[in-house]
Homo-oligomer: A and B are copies of this chain.
Amino acid sequence: MAHSLKKLKEVILIEKIAKSFKSKDKSVVVSIGDDAAVVKKDKGSYSLYTVDMLIEGVHFKKGEDPEKIGYKAMAVSVSDIAAMGGMPKYALVSVGLPKDSALTMAQGLFYGIKEVSRKFDIDIIGGDTNRSERLVIDVFMVGEVERKRLVLRSTAKAGDHIFVSGPLGNSLAGRHLMFEPRVKETRFLGKNFKVTSMIDLSDGLGMDLNRVTEASHLGAILFEESIPKNKGVKNTRQALYDGEDFELLFTLGPQDAFKLMSGIDKKNKFNFYHIGKMTSLFLGVKMWTKDRCFVDINCDGFKHF
Contacts and interface: CB of A to CB of B under 8 A. Distances in A.
Interface of A: 1-2, 7-8, 10-11, 13-15, 17-18, 21, 23-25, 28, 31-32, 36-37, 39, 41-42, 47, 49-53, 55, 57-59, 89-90, 92-97, 99, 102-103, 106, 110, 123-134, 136, 138, 140, 142
A98 to B, nearest CB: 10
B90 A136 contact: no
Given A37-B92, A51-B138, A132-B58, A1 B106 contact: no
Contacts of A18: 110, 124, 127, 129
Tell me whether chain A's interface is mostly helix, strand or loop, or mixed: strand
A156 to B, nearest CB: 22
A60 to B, nearest CB: 12
Chain multiplicity (copies): 2
Nearest to A96: B55
A97 B117 CA distance: 29
A127 B17 CA distance: 12
Contacts of A1: 92, 126-128
A28 B37 CA distance: 21
Nearest to A97: B11
A249 to B, nearest CB: 20
Given A10-B102, A32-B126, A49-B92, 5 more contacts: A17-B106, A37-B126, A49-B142, A51-B140, A55-B131
